[in-house]
Amino acid sequence: MNVRSLRRSEGSSQTWPKTGLILAAILLNVALLMMGDTFAWLREYPETWVWGIAGATTTAVKYFVNDLAIRGVSVAEMTRGFANLIKVPMLALQGVLSEGFEFYGDNGEATIYRGLPWPAVMAGLTAFAWWAAGRKVALFSLFSLVYFLVFGLWQSSMLTLSSVVVAVFVSFVLGILLGILGYRNARANAILMPIYDVMQTIPTFSYLVPVLLLFGFNPVAAMIATVIYAMPPMARVTTLALQRVPPNIADFGDMAGCTKRQKMWQVMLPAARQNLLIGLNQVIMLTFAMVIIASVIGAGGLGGEVYQGLKALRIGDAVEVGIAITLMAIMLDRISKAIALSRPDHVDAAPGAVWQRHPLTFAWIAIALLLVLLGQIFPSLYAYPKAATISTGSFWNDAITWIGDTYYTQIKALRDTTITYIMRPMKSFLLDVPWTGFIAVIAAISYAIGGRGLAIMSASLLGFIAVTGYWDGAMVSLYLVLLSVIVALIIALPVGIWAGLNPRVDHVVTAIIDTLQTLPSFVYLIPVVMLFSVGEFAGLVAIVAYSLPPGVRYTKQGIQNVARSSIEAGDMAGCTRWQKLTNVQLPLAIPDIMLGVNQTIMFAFGMLVITALVGTRGLEHDTLVAISKVQPGEGIVAGLGIAFLSIITDRLISQGSRNFQRRSGMSQR
């Protein structure tokens, strides 16, 4: 036996050196903390060493936008020209739906063309919902539209709707084109995928600033930010859907003598249409969430109303608009999901004229024309009279006051206890850990889980955060996310298991989490601020609420996906229900549960960003401040910090989960 093989046989219990490495890294921390001031720079990254890339980026972006000119036209002028171009379809749609059009002649006189009367829009949207999703969804849509109208939110909601429609269209088209590129060209795909990763994990506020600089403070900028956010999933879904087209269908395309283009557009994409439409549903929901968030840079619409309400602490108004957003989210989700899942049967070609084959469309045209004519006599058909709107704002305000008065002590006790005994200690602990020691521990864990590559990636991403001077902010963000995830899992796992075991509970739980997941993250802030005012505790509650659904969903599915034969084997072995759960169902559900844990963390990072609006103080705060100070560099670097934290956690957990499955011999799902 030579030396090499001897060494290998010694290392057969490979876990030991890895565990040793992690222990050593932890000891390094202790040593650094005890050493006093000798190696202070190893504990606290010295401010004088900070790499000023954030500031430099800001200068560069500002130079690029304002001073760089090609043939005397500055970049800002070009991009704003482009913005004006995109504005056209958006304004057109908005004009038709509610606002109308104004054109100014040479003499400054305005010619006004009015849009459609609100009852016509209402009838049209309801008819569309009926055609796409049936009577129930149509009634729900009608109810929502009436809600918008009587609460005086008609114009805001139509603005939001137009932004969503145009942004979805752009994201959909771009996503499909990029998705095709990724499908056809493996090298392009290898480049695009990590870019999508960063685009999806970097906090929204980060790219709001450059977009703001390039396109100005207006709805179009918001729309472009929205496309950046919502397009990557569509591109991903497209590539995936094309890869999943049965190989025989692809072969058929060739055998029918298709050219490359014919094969793509007439065979592959139509064959993938179901998955593409499911992707479209996602894009719609992401777009909607982003349109609401983009109110921070002037998207207006429903998001703007909530933002104004929250800022001025007019909670009652914010609640009203929050309900409107919820209604619109559910409406968009139900309609697009119905379209994605529908599998229509054939229709026998009915003889007859066009209007006999499309009665709904023509009935609507007739009604709309009639309403336009009637509108000349009754102006209230165009502008819903203010006097007829209602507001429940004061009711909500009263309710909040009442809650505050009645439960003041309980709420305060809960909040103060949590802050004093859990939040503050954890936060100062993370802030006290030496940055070098922290990186060493994470690198050691990464090495143990994923080998050298993962260790280098974790260490360099964390190193980037340290040298750019955002370490403390990152620790504050991390503590809030970690704590929220722990709380969320403590709630989600038992609920998920219960729902997985009990169909009746499942029914209720699924209905609730389905609805919760359609809501834009922004909406979660409203009740939280209502009950807990602003601050890190409010942020914690919001993150927990937002990241609960995926944890519950995956745990539940994990339990339900356990093969029946395994359960029957457990029964026949004479297991009690508890033994069956702990020995059969839970172990087999672990891969799904791990996926749920991972999703919970990703959702927590997603919500963390938004909680900056209620006064949390980590990196998310820096990205928000960057908007008001118009510092794109600072916003991007701080945002990258959050993206890196979430990418590291994601890689560690998914790799760890894969290792676990391999060790326990479970095949990957």
Q: Which is nearer to another protein, 102 or 254 (CB)?
A: 254
Q: Which is nearer to another protein, 342 or 376 (CB)?
A: 342
Q: Minimum distance between the CB of residue 41 and another protein, rounded to whole angstroms?
A: 48
Binding characters for another protein, 203-242, by CB under 8 A (x = yes): ----------------------------------------
For residues 515 and 534, give the distance between their C-alpha atoms in angstroms, rounded to a whole number: 25
Q: Minimum distance between the CB of residue 255 and another protein, rounded to whole angstroms?
A: 4
Q: Which stretch binds another protein (CB under 8 A): 151-159, 345-353, 450-458, 659-667?
A: 345-353
Give the residue carrying structure tokens 């095709």. 180
If one asks whether residue 348 binds another protein (CB under 8 A), the answer comes out as: yes
If one asks whether residue 346 binds another protein (CB under 8 A), the answer comes out as: yes
Which of residues 36, 105, 108, 344 is near another protein by CB under 8 A? Answer: 344
Give the residue carrying structure tokens 């919970």. 600
Q: Which tokens in the block code for residue 396?
A: 């909500």
Q: How many residues make contact with another protein (CB under 8 A)? A: 25
Q: Minimum distance between the CB of residue 276 and another protein, rounded to whole angstroms?
A: 11
For residues 128 and 331, give the distance between their C-alpha atoms in angstroms, rounded to a whole number: 12
For residues 158 and 91, give the distance between their C-alpha atoms in angstroms, rounded to a whole number: 11
Q: Minimum distance between the CB of residue 650 and another protein, rounded to whole angstroms?
A: 30
435 Cβ contact list (under 8 Å, min separation 6): 42, 43, 44, 45, 466, 471
Residue list 87-116, contact with another protein (CB under 8 A): none
E strand or H helix that includes residue 74: strand 73-74
Q: How far is CA 559 from CA 465, 494, 513, in A?
A: 39, 11, 17
Give residue 261's region: left, alpha or beta (phi > 0; psi -120 to 50).
alpha
For residues 362 and 209, give the distance between their C-alpha atoms in angstroms, rounded to a whole number: 46
Which long-range CB contacts under 8 A does 137-141 form with residues at least 24 apart?
Answer: 137/331, 137/334, 137/335, 137/338, 140/330, 140/331, 140/334, 141/331, 141/335
If one asks whether residue 248 binds another protein (CB under 8 A), the answer comes out as: yes
Q: Minimum distance between the CB of residue 338 and another protein, rounded to whole angstroms?
A: 17
For residues 632 and 215, give the distance between their C-alpha atoms in angstroms, rounded to a whole number: 13
Residue list 359-378, contact with another protein (CB under 8 A): none
Q: Which amino acid is at 608?
A: L
For residues 253 and 258, give the distance between their C-alpha atoms in angstroms, rounded to a whole number: 6
For residues 376 and 372, give the distance between their C-alpha atoms in angstroms, rounded to a whole number: 7
Q: Which amino acid is at 1?
A: M
If one asks whether residue 343 binds another protein (CB under 8 A), the answer comes out as: yes
Q: Minimum distance between the CB of residue 278 and another protein, rounded to whole angstroms?
A: 15
Q: Minimum distance between the CB of residue 347 and another protein, rounded to whole angstroms?
A: 7
Binding characters for another protein, 420-459, by CB under 8 A (x = yes): ----------------------------------------
Which of residues 1, 349, 354, 377 is near another protein by CB under 8 A? Answer: 349
Q: Which stretch binds another protein (CB under 8 A): 247-255, 307-315, 474-482, 514-522?
A: 247-255
Binding characters for another protein, 249-288, by CB under 8 A (x = yes): x-xx-xxxxxx--x---xx--xx-xx--------------
Q: Which is nearer to another protein, 91 or 264 (CB)?
A: 264
Catalog residues that contact another protein under the rule CB under 8 A.
246, 248-249, 251-252, 254-259, 262, 266-267, 270-271, 273-274, 343-349
